[in-house]
Amino acid sequence: MTSVPDRLSAALAGSPLCVGIDPHAGELAAWGLEDTAAGARAFADRVLTAVAASPARIVKPQVALFERFGSAGFAVLEEVLADARGAGLFTIADAKRGDIGSTMSGYASAWVRRGSPLRADAVTVSPYLGFGSLAPVLDLLDDEDAMAFVLALTSNPSGPDVQHARGADGESVGGAILRDAAEASATRPGRIGAVVGATIGSAADDLGIDLGSFPGPILTPGYGAQGAGAADLLALFGPIARDRRLLVNASRGVSSAGPSTEALTGRIAELTGELLGGLGVD
């Protein structure tokens, strides 16, 4: 059976695009859907149908936007993840979980273990209780054939308050997280990625971080509707972009073409073409 990292590599061979499934209230209203769990399900179904017919093979449901509907929303998310698996798509649960001890073990069981209804191929995790707090998730990745993407340098306005701060040795917090993730990846090849915002500008250079040396894949939000273009991605990530290890997330940039599934598929194909051309990959 093909491993999860190999499935990701195969998906990226066709398109670097990671299609976000983000049922915001405004998005649902724009599609004429109710702001309910049923509306979120209809929204997600159309996105999945469009992705399945497109060059893109990666989807990223935003967990919070299902969770806001309570148990009904989680039931929809379980169905969405199952349907995506059935369509042969690579799934990333954007859960951003981070805690310590038995609590983090609980999150690991929910999002990483085979057989869990919330199981995804990969999950986003937060290291801001210390990188060691991620151990319950990271220690399961090989046995459960899963991946994790570690938040490192985000582009929200207050992110730099923590991520750009420097320790006594002069290393930034974000730089230390990327270093720790790279070291953890050495014993789990291909299973640990990072999350770095596409709109961080010169922050990596300013902090002395060589993003191109990171050994795993990088998930980058901020393309399109949030302001970053292909030239920005190439300048920021360099070899990672050219080596097909960059997952470029687009949510509103895709859903704004809806609600027609044909229009959504067309937008995904258009964005894929823009990215492949702009990043200089065949």
Q: What are the residues whose beta carbons fall under 8 Å from the beta carbon of 35, sequence distance 6 or more?
A: 25, 28, 29
Distance of CA 100 to the CA centre of its chain: 22
Confidence (pLDDT) at 224? 76
Confidence (pLDDT) at 225? 67
Confidence (pLDDT) at 242? 87
Q: How far is CA 238 from CA 215, 232, 280, in A?
A: 13, 10, 10
Confidence (pLDDT) at 197? 95
Catalytic residues: 96
Whether CATH 3.20.20.70 fits 4-277: yes
CA-based R_g, the chain, Å: 18
Which ranges of 91-207 does DSSP label H, i.e. alpha helix? 101-111, 135-138, 141-144, 159-163, 173-186, 203-206
Confidence (pLDDT) at 140? 98
- Which residues, given as ranges, of the chain have pLDDT below 50? none
Confidence (pLDDT) at 216? 96
Domain ranges (residues) in the chain: 4-277
**pLDDT tens for each residue of 139-163:** 999 999 999 999 999 988 899 999 9
Confidence (pLDDT) at 227? 75
